[in-house]
Amino acid sequence: MVEITAAAAPSGATAPAIKAAAAAPAAQKKATGPSISSKWTKEGDLSGGYQKAENPQILLSVQGDGDTTLELERADGGKDQGMICFVYRLTNEEANGYRFEKLPAKDAVVSQTKFQKESSLDCTWQKMTKDKQHYLIVPCLHNMGTELDFKISISTKSTMTRATLKALTELEPSTAAICESAWSPELSGGYQKPDNPQFLLTVKSKSMVKVSLTRSDGNKDQGQMTTLPLNQTLTDHPHALTNESHYM
């Protein structure tokens, strides 16, 4: 507590001046955090315009609670076009270290900067728990195809909060399996007949399965289809995905 009396006032000093000096609060500094430099570029399709996956993607991981602030800064200091940065909340499964071919749903956006012609923009969001949380950072320019360097900086309100940044540069390796065959006089029985080519597909974990059938000659002169009846001897739930499901 600061106590000021009339007797303590120096000669010529006014009461408002003394009051202002006594009431000046101490400035609260934010903890510094990591930063990362990257580039919008045509090479690698990394300058796709507003809110497109074809932009630099950066994984942010934050351990601790409190406010987190992101700053996006153009290296050239220019202000010739609009700029914006989106921050998406990710699940642990989504934060696998690979780029997103499609951005997460728009309701996963936890924060974003303003969309302005500025050389530097920032945004702040609050993290409520101390558990580690992952975020996808996607900086965007208004004009697709522009090549510019930029820097992303992260700061936190608490010195106990830890943050890391990682550039996502590779797509997740494909798990696709390709089989080639042919309809022949012996294996061309028509619609939904056993006298057709058959393949055994084994899925070792619960997953979404997509099957594509393509004619190698590219013709469209007649209908075609493929079916995946589950081998019912392996499970009591013929339409469920089990830990190891088999399809024909």
54-67: pLDDT as tens digits: 999 999 999 999 99
Where in the chain are all domains bearing CATH 2.60.120.380? 31-168
**Separation CA 56–CA 149 (nearest Å):** 11
pLDDT at 214: 82
Mean pLDDT is lowest, of 19-28, 86-95, 166-175, 227-236, for: 19-28
pLDDT at 206: 65
Nearest-5° Cα angle at 121, 116 to 122:
130
Determine the distance from the C-alpha atom of residue 67 to the mean position of all C-alpha atoms in its chain, rounded to a whole number.
19
- Per DSSP, what are the bridge partners of residue 74? 150
Contacts of 50 (CB under 8 A, 6+ apart): 82, 84, 115, 140, 141, 142
Place of tokens 């360097």: 149
Q: Which token pair is 188?
A: 């061309």
Query: Which CATH number is 31-168's, of 2.60.120.380, 2.20.28.10, 3.40.718.10, 3.40.640.10?
Result: 2.60.120.380
